[in-house]
Amino acid sequence: MSSLLPRFSTLEQYRPLFRDEAVWLPALRTICARHGLDPLTLRIAPPGSNIVFWVEDKLLIKLFVPLWPEDARKETDVLKALAGRIPFEIPQIRAEGDLEGWPYLVLTRICGQPLDEIWEDLDPTAREQVAASLGSRIAALQELPTSALQGVLPEWPGSWQVQASACLARQRELGVSTAWLDQLAGFLDSALPTLQTPYQPVFLHADLNPEHLFCQETPCGWQVSGMIDFADGMLGHPFYEWVRPGYTLHFQPDLLRAMLLGAGFGPRQLDGTLSRRLFTFTLLHRFFSLPEILDLISPNPPQNLLVMQDALWRF
């Protein structure tokens, strides 16, 4: 019996197949037959990491690629744990299964449009509304009891010193100069003691980029109506979550301020101490790339980390 799904073991082998609908349609049609869905309505969705097809307009099928074996388990567990407990939309699981060792979920599509598709058309007021709404959504996630997720999701790993070492190793791999590496090492050595106080781990989406945030215009203005893609979820320090939204809001001071006030920070808390802490978490974030940041702040990139901190986290 021939296989419905391709065989590969590396990302390089997967990439040329990723957007080829013909490769995936036999498997997707089989999943439709299992769950009574109309295969004639299958349409490939915008790209992510795994294979996603819309079906019957209000549903989607997410087929998890075996290269990332934990994605399916984590996303399934998080969606079940969060269902009905937060004041905005997330996908609801309508069915789940496995096809030739590939897990899949049949999910509801959430309302609204991805933020990356509408950002350029939003005026400054609408962007501030989105930022404030995003802050309130993150606060709602962080207020959730984590008991249902402990033992299910990983916790942001290691000691602060381990995270600092990982940051330096990542930047070294990216070809960052010795001068910048020395600055990073010195900055982290001085900043880490301020993070040593005990904290209560909270749920982190951990990848709130514009493709994962859906927005709608409401009578109260533009709002974040929902979030998708919870496979990167973890438990960890609450400040870690603000890093990706900082990128999403292009580190614009008025938008950062709106987001943090929307999350419940008081105006007096938006000071240099908070800026330094958020910048420290930016450096420790697993997606942090110094070359990317220097390019983002061009045409006049900062020559030291204190200037960079002010350029990124100014309120």
Please report, rounded to a whole number, the percentage of residues in the chain having pLDDT higher than 70.
100
Considering the four listed CATH numbers 2.40.50.100, 3.90.1200.10, 3.40.50.2000, 3.40.50.720, the one that applies to the domain covering 113-312 is 3.90.1200.10
Mean pLDDT score, 8-23: 94
For the entire predicted model, the pTM comes to: 0.92
Would you say residue 148 has pLDDT above 90? no
User: pLDDT value at position 195?
Assistant: 85
Q: For the chain, which residues make up each domain, given as ranges? A: 11-108, 113-312
For residue range 73-96, what is the model confidence (pLDDT) as tens digits? 999 999 999 999 999 999 999 999
CATH architecture of the domain 11-108 equals 2-Layer Sandwich (3.30)
Would you say residue 279 has pLDDT above 60? yes
Cβ-Cβ contacts under 8 Å for 131 (sequence gap 6 or more): 249, 255, 256, 258, 259, 262
Would you say residue 241 has pLDDT above 70? yes
Cβ-Cβ contacts under 8 Å for 8 (sequence gap 6 or more): 14, 17
pLDDT band at 136 (very low <50, low <70, confident <90, very high): very high
Residues in the chain: 315
pLDDT band at 1 (very low <50, low <70, confident <90, very high): low
